[in-house]
Amino acid sequence: MPVDSASAQPLCHASRVAPGQALGVDLGDEGRDQFFIVNHQGTLHAWRNACPHVDGAPMAWRRHAYLSPDGQQVMCHAHGARFEPDTGLCVHGPCLGQRLTRVAIAIDEQGQVRLAHLALAHNEQPLKEFP
């Protein structure tokens, strides 16, 4: 996907997220990740840090801890929901069949990961605390 590097904010270098790892992104240093990037089998996917079980609930118990212990699934640590890292589909837990919200990202020629759309940078929907 082509990216206008002058308008899309760089998030990190693609090499910073190794296969089986995740990286939280806190745009504007708000003190919480608005979304996170997952490397699933060499492909980066980005998901909003908002569990579909409780709309807007953050998912990690500590910074960058978005994956199951085996690194194979995205996991919400509030109530244990698990999601496919490439589709966002919940395959286990209280929101079975629901999906994470994808964040459109792209990698430029220099390997910088950038938002493909800037709407999320303004955090249109406030995130909630754990219930």
- What ranges make up the beta strands (E) of 10-122? 10-13, 22-25, 35-40, 43-48, 74-75, 82-83, 90-92, 105-107, 112-115
Q: Report the nearest approach of ligand FES to the CB of residue 112 (Å).
A: 31
49, burial (CB in 10 Å: exposed 0-12, middle 13-18, buried 19+): buried
Nearer to ligand FES, 88 or 93 (CB): 93
Determine the longest span between alpha carbons in the chain, in angstroms: 42
- 76 makes contact with ligand FES (CB under 6 A): yes
Q: Report the nearest approach of ligand FES to the CB of residue 76 (Å).
A: 3
Nearer to ligand FES, 78 or 115 (CB): 78
Cα 73 to chain center, whole Å?
12
Sole binder of ligand FES in the list 40, 48, 53, 114 (CB under 6 A):
53
3-state secondary structure of 38: strand
Question: Which of 129, 108, 59 is closest to 88 using CA atoms?
Answer: 59
- 74 makes contact with ligand FES (CB under 6 A): no
- 37 makes contact with ligand FES (CB under 6 A): no
Nearer to ligand FES, 51 or 113 (CB): 51
Nearer to ligand FES, 57 or 120 (CB): 57
Residues that bind ligand FES (CB under 6 A): 51, 53-54, 57, 76, 78-79, 81, 93-94
